[in-house]
Amino acid sequence: MNSDGQYEQRVVWAVVGSDIGPLMLAATPEGLVNVVFHATDPVRDRALERLAARLGTEPVEAPGSPLLAEPIRQLTAYFAGGRKDFELPLDWSLISGFNRQVLRELAAGVAYGSVVGYGDLAGRVGQPGAAQAVGVAMGANPLPVVVPCHRVVESDGGIGGFGGGLETKRKLLALEGVLPQPLF
């Protein structure tokens, strides 16, 4: 409780290993709030500073927190090939407006093992012609993998961009059977 007698939002975080490198997961009592790729110490530290500034509270490292237990379990199962859908409470407080609308549609409407074009996704949220804005929303996704921005590709069949790097996007799409597994 803070000095005004109000409960402060608590943010817990942990770094977990995955097939695409270390991921930092952060959660609030509302749900998973952030997934950060390539969570080396400098990347993690920058992400924690952004979270503190955006959420108004200092994130606490707590790998054993009940708030992180289910996200860690489900992500582990996903990378092991045993989970296709995430069933997690999500805290959408880091994103709003059009970006939130697009990401919610992506999470609900683009299944494991399938892809959607940027323009198609724009059309699904009633904004045909907003393909570039969808690309911006994908780049702003605070919950990659769980909200599967890796499943959004170019209409001409190109892989498109990806905040976690194109090699990470390829690995995620290969895991889901969209692309062939790399030979080496």
Residue 40 identity (one-letter amino acid): T
Q: Is 157 helix (H, G, I), strand (E, B) or coil?
A: coil
Q: Which of 36, 75, 110, 149 is catalytic?
A: 149
Question: By the 8 A CB rule, do 79 and 21 touch?
Answer: no
Give the full edge-to-edge strand order of the sheet including 12-16: 31-36, 23-28, 12-16, 60-61
CA angle (34, 38, 44) in 5-degree steps = 60
1 flagged as catalytic: no
Residue with tokens 């194109």: 166
Checking 166-170 for CB contacts under 8 A at 24+ apart, the result is: 168/20, 168/21, 168/37, 168/38
Question: By the 8 A CB rule, do 149 and 162 touch?
Answer: yes
Closest alpha carbon to 25 in 68, 89, 87: 68
Active site residues: 149
